[in-house]
Amino acid sequence: MIYNSTRDSSVGYTASQAITQGISVDGGLFVPEEIPPITSNEIRMLAKVNYSSRAAYILSKYLTDFSIEEIEDFTSLAYNSERFRSPAVAPIHGLYDGVNLLELWHGPTCAFKDMALQILPHLMRISARKAAQDKTIIILVATSGDTGKAALEGFRDAENTRIIVFYPEDGVSPIQKLQMITQEGENVAVCGIKGNFDDAQTGVKAIFNDPKTAKRLDTNNMMFSSANSINWGRLLPQIVYYISAYCDLIDSGKINADDLINVVVPTGNFGNILSAYYARKMGLPIAKLICASNQNRVLTDFINTGEYNRNRSFYTTTSPSMDILISSNLERLLYDISGCKDDEIRYLMRELKEKGRYAVSDKIFADIKSLFWAGWCSDEQTAQTIKNVFENHDYLCDTHTAVAVNVYEQYRKSTGDKTPVIIASTANPYKFPASVLDALGKNGADVNEFEKMDRLYEITGKEIPEPLRSIHEKGKRFTDVCNPADMNKMIYKLLGI
Ligand SMILES: *Cc1c(COP(=O)(O)O)cnc(C)c1O
């Protein structure tokens, strides 16, 4: 399997090259030259095996420069009962008739990023051996909250790697911040940015593409890579859980093999929903992909009008991991839907960079419109949804999941479509205890985050995951904060080069 760049189809890399490098030198993202099919028989066969085996089977279709032993080795290291608190790894929770939540937060950091970031360090380790002459890989991360912690946890003390995480100083929840600044491990560093997530992400992308920085690293036998969802190694493991969820629906008798389902994804950088798109393209029977946004509704507007326009106010919402105005992975969708027209993508991305907006061709717009449905909801609607879901279905969901549930309900009302549905549940509610408490009408303003967790437990009786319960016992290790313009200097300082 060869990987091309979305901005230059003539680039032809192996999977291990694409994963170690993270992003193409032309600024494009790596995509597989073709999407391998999965048949109905294969899906039925996968329904009989565990998550780790499902993952190995699916990954092997894309990682053709890895041996099956290598792949089975790292799927079993990533997806086991020491790492995930549920034996199913990503279990389905039936909410009401035909509506299922896919719980993606049973990993060590209680958010869906663990699904990919528990396996990426293994992919990176083997890829570096194959494609990067055993250089030390410097993982550079910009985070809106959850990626940072999940990447730190995944890469901590991993062989031959170091990891540096930048987060918007005032743009993450107090629990998310604590999770990061208390991170243990010898090869980790964390730094706040005076700016928002887009500033952090733009800074990281600029550093990746700066030849001077690359040279300085190279002379120190180091190279950058990315653990953001621009890295193919992040997206690939996410394809697995959509196929796995489908297997589980068959297994539990909720659908028959080959039945169509819809998928709803609370979306930020467009990585998670793009993985569902690839699963569909492989052959998973998905009818509609429903893209849910918060008040930063740039994707809702794009999918409904064909114009992407980031020139708008940025809002800090109660679903911070979706507070994004530049959804990087959309580039991969546009490339695929355009029929791999790299010149068209170069043009659109230049428009985005220079004018902050672009409009896609009528053809691309029509194709997107036929496959996707998009909606958004406000913080008030998100809170109301948390309350309704708890009162009507005895289920406590986090703010991001609630955005998805709300948008799904809008979809169902406006279309009447009752196709069985999987709604991606992307974080455990105890990651956002203040917003969830508020939503239930219990004001927790007077107490700290840990007391809020306790209060939420008293009211709901829903278990607090161990990794969140124990953060307050950990010491704070990282207090650096810098301007986006000084990220480069900070990196040199942290690496001692
Ligand atoms: C990262 C994240 C999202 C957004 O996912 P994308 O792949 O960036 O679209 C949604 N919810 C939570 C809890 C997240 O951590």
Tens of pLDDT, residue by residue over 321-374, are 999 999 999 999 999 999 999 999 999 999 999 999 999 999 999 999 999 999
Determine the residue type at 427.
A
Does the beta carbon of 149 lie inside 6 Å of ligand 1? Answer: no
What pLDDT band is residue 439 in, cutting at 50, 70 and 90? very high
Does the beta carbon of 52 lie inside 6 Å of ligand 1? Answer: no
- Please determine, for residue 444, whether its predicted confidence score (pLDDT) is greater than 70: no
pLDDT at 449: 85
| CA–CA gap between residue 238 and residue 276 (Å, rounded) | 8
- Please determine, for residue 412, whether its predicted confidence score (pLDDT) is greater than 90: yes
Name beta bridge partners: 374: 291
Q: Where are the domains of the chain?
A: 92-111+233-430
Give phi and psi for 310, each to the nearest 5.
Answer: -90, 0
What pLDDT band is residue 197 in, cutting at 50, 70 and 90? confident
Q: Report the SS3 class of residue 267.
A: coil
- Please determine, for residue 307, whether its predicted confidence score (pLDDT) is greater than 90: yes
Ligand 1 centre to CA of 294 (Å) is 12
Does the beta carbon of 269 lie inside 6 Å of ligand 1? Answer: yes
Ligand 1 centre to CA of 237 (Å) is 15
Task: Please write the tens of the pLDDT for every residue from 95-117.
Answer: 999 999 999 999 999 999 999 99
Q: Which residue among 426, 430, 436 is best mutated to probe the pocket of ligand 1, counting the most ligand atoms within 8 A of its Cβ? A: 426
- Please determine, for residue 133, whether its predicted confidence score (pLDDT) is greater than 80: no
Percentage of the chain beyond pLDDT 90 is 85
Does the beta carbon of 358 lie inside 6 Å of ligand 1? Answer: no
Which are the contacts of 339, defined by CB distance < 8 A and separation ≥ 6? none
Does the beta carbon of 250 lie inside 6 Å of ligand 1? Answer: no
- Please determine, for residue 129, whether its predicted confidence score (pLDDT) is greater than 90: no
CATH assignment, 92-111+233-430: 3.40.50.1100
CB contact at 8 A, 127 and 16: yes
CB contact at 8 A, 195 and 168: yes
Residues, the chain: 497
Determine the residue type at 482.
C
Does the beta carbon of 403 lie inside 6 Å of ligand 1? Answer: no
Task: Please write the tens of the pLDDT for every residue from 207-261.
Answer: 988 999 999 999 999 999 889 888 999 999 999 999 999 999 999 999 999 999 9
- Of 48, 61, 113, 462, the active-site residue reads 113
Give phi and psi for 398, each to the nearest 5.
Answer: -80, 175
Looking at residue 138, the DSSP 8-state letter turns out to be E
Measured distance between the N- and C-terminal CA atoms of the chain, rounded to whole angstroms: 36
pLDDT at 470: 87
| CA–CA gap between residue 330 and residue 140 (Å, rounded) | 21
Catalytic residue flag (residue 281): no
Q: Which residue among 201, 226, 232, 269 is best mutated to probe the pocket of ligand 1, counting the most ligand atoms within 8 A of its Cβ? A: 269
Neighbours of 449 (CB within 10 A): 20
- Please determine, for residue 404, whether its predicted confidence score (pLDDT) is greater than 70: yes
